[in-house]
């Protein structure tokens, strides 16, 4: 599933085509994805202007001049790709792309933005912009990891007396928004903290070190266009490249890349998800 860097990469790619643009036509080619589309979605979107394109956690947000916000979650395989309206099909289409999975198409005067989702685990929603934080998507969500609201005092307080492993704590969207399996594995490896350590048993000074590490990992991933392991594509259809710099994730059996560490990356299962870590340098 796309994590924060992948969604942010998509947002940045879509912004030149959608931000400030009027939606002159909206094609909705099926009644639902993971859940049914909002009532009269095509009608409510048609004619609206996108005031700003934003992101919250793993969600894309298109704020409209109709006082509503379009909420898009990419799910497991969702992609949003931009075509030049005069030259449709100009972006890169990989072998996994099939037109039958083009479920929503947004038309502006200059571009066409296609939402393609083979597995249909994504979803679209519409909510009043002034009540966005109260929706079921965001009501209990923690701070953005790249925002000023994510700081050492917040994380120390969130971890206090927490009996769950630190990896599970960081995946809890109520603690911090947008982190997923890949970047938690990478951040914990970079910080030298074992993913199995109970969050509440980690010294506050070590918890504090996670904040800049998480920010650095996310910033580097965004700069690289995210990680393309299976389905992620940027808005022009191209791949992300952060997967080539993984230190721990998906490197089972390979030497730990940390200087002076002679450990080997191992894979364990936590909460039904694969965790990759070095048992030698992560304590």
Name the catalytic one among 12, 215, 258, 273.
Answer: 273
| pLDDT in the model for residue 240 | 46
Provide the CATH number for the domain around residue 73: 3.20.190.10
- What band does 85 get if pLDDT is binned at 50, 70 and 90? low
134-150 pLDDT, tens digit each? 999 999 999 999 999 99
9, 125: one domain? yes
Let me know if residue 267 belongs to a domain. Answer: yes
- The span from the CA of 232 to the CA of 212, in Å, is 26
What mean pLDDT is reported for the chain?
90
Question: In the listed set 79, 102, 134, which residue is the last one of a domain according to the structure?
Answer: 134
Give me the mean pLDDT over the 98-110 stretch. Answer: 92
160, 111: one domain? no
Asked if 167 is an active-site residue, the reply is no
- The span from the CA of 156 to the CA of 140, in Å, is 18
3-state secondary structure the chain: CCCHHHHHHHHHHHHHHHCCCECCEEEECCCECCCECCCCHHHHHCCCEEEEEEEECCEEEEEECCCEEEEEECCCCCEEEEEECCECCCCCCCCCCCHHHEEEEEECCCEEEEEECCCCCCEEEEEEHHHHHHCCCCCCCCCCCCCCCCCHHHHHHHHCCCCCEHHHHHHCCCCCCCCCHHHHHHHHHHHCCCCCCEHHHCCHHHHHHHHHHHHHHHHHHHHCCCCCCCCCCCCCCCCCCHHHHCCCCCCCCCECCCCCCCCECEEEEECCEEEEECCCCCC
- The span from the CA of 92 to the CA of 239, in Å, is 10
Domain count, the chain: 2
Provide the CATH number for the domain around residue 184: 1.10.8.50
124, 194: one domain? no
130, 160: one domain? no
Give me the mean pLDDT over the 175-194 stretch. Answer: 96
Asked if 283 is an active-site residue, the reply is no
Asked if 38 is an active-site residue, the reply is no
| pLDDT in the model for residue 3 | 86
Provide the 10 A C-beta neighbour count for residue 167: 26
Name the catalytic one among 2, 5, 145, 165.
Answer: 2
Question: Is the pLDDT score of 86 beyond 60?
Answer: no
Provide the 10 A C-beta neighbour count for residue 40: 11
Higher-confidence position of 231 and 121:
121
Let me know if residue 124 belongs to a domain. Answer: yes
Name the catalytic one among 11, 55, 56, 58.
Answer: 58
Question: Is the pLDDT score of 228 beyond 50?
Answer: no
CA angle 208, 211, 217 (to 5 degrees): 140
52, 169: one domain? no
Say if CB 253 and CB 265 are below 8 A apart: yes
Q: List beta partners, residue 127.
A: 69
Give me the mean pLDDT over the 37-55 stretch. Answer: 98
Alpha-carbon distances of 127 from 103, 140, 234, 237, rounded to whole Å: 20, 16, 26, 29
245, 170: one domain? yes
30, 112: one domain? yes
**Domain extent for 33:** 4-134
Q: Which of 115-119, 182-186, 208-212, 235-239 has the lowest mean pLDDT?
A: 235-239
| pLDDT in the model for residue 98 | 73
- The span from the CA of 258 to the CA of 110, in Å, is 48
Asked if 58 is an active-site residue, the reply is yes
Determine what percent of the chain is predicted with pLDDT higher than 90. 77
Give me the mean pLDDT over the 31-36 stretch. Answer: 95
| pLDDT in the model for residue 233 | 47
């Amino acid at each position: 599933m796309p994590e924060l860097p992948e969604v942010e990469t998509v947002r940045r790619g879509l912004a030149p085509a959608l931000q400030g643009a009027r939606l002159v036509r909206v094609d909705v080619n099926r009644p639902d994805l993971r859940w049914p589309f909002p009532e009269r979605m095509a009608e409510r979107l048609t004619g609206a202007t996108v005031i700003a394109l934003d992101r919250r956690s793993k969600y894309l947000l298109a704020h409209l001049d109709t006082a509503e916000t379009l909420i898009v979650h990419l799910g497991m395989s969702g992609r949003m790709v931009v075509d030049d309206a005069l030259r449709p099909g100009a972006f890169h289409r990989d072998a996994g792309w099939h037109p039958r999975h083009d479920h929503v198409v947004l038309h502006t005067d200059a571009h066409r933005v296609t939402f393609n989702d083979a597995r249909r685990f994504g979803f679209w929603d519409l909510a009043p912009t002034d009540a966005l934080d109260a929706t079921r998507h965001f009501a209990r969500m923690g701070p953005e990891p790249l925002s000023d609201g994510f700081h050492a005092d917040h994380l120390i307080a969130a971890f206090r007396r927490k009996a769950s492993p630190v990896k599970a704590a960081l995946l809890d969207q109520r603690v911090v928004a947008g982190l997923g399996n890949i970047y938690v594995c990478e951040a914990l490896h970079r910080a030298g903290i074992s993913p199995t350590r109970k969050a509440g048993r980690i010294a506050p000074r070590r918890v504090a070190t996670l904040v800049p590490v998480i920010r650095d990992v996310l910033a580097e991933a965004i700069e690289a266009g995210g990680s393309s392991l299976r389905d992620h594509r940027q808005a022009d259809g191209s791949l992300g490249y952060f997967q080539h710099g993984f230190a721990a994730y998906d490197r089972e059996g390979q030497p730990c890349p940390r200087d002076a560490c002679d450990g080997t990356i191992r894979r364990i299962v936590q909460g039904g998800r694969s965790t990759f870590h070095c048992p030698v340098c992560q304590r």
